[in-house]
Amino acid sequence: MSKVKNYFKRLWKALWDSTDLDEKAEAALKEAKARIAEMKKELADVKKAAKNTVAQAKDVVDAAKGKKRRGKKPSKKNNKKTNNSKKIEK
């Protein structure tokens, strides 16, 4: 009986070692985790963009009502002439 039992144990071990099912499962799990991490990053970006879009849409509604623009004022351009703008005389 012992010889038969050892034979089936060795046969089972040989069959299990010949398959790469566990390696494939580990690789698939690793890939899934990596994709989930990337999706979380992208969803955070989408959330940020959506908040910005909502804020800008509110500004458009306020502009339609006649309210003045909120936020940072546009900067004035510096129109000073520099020494480089003089014509070079020959």
**pLDDT (tens digit, 0 to 9) for every residue of the chain, 90 residues total?**
688 888 988 988 888 777 777 788 889 999 999 999 999 999 999 999 999 998 888 888 888 888 877 666 666 666 566 666 555 555
Exposure string of 14-46, with b = 16+ CB inside 10 Å and e = fewer, is eeeeeeeeeeeeeeeeeeeeeeeeeeeeeeeee
State the pLDDT at residue 36.
95
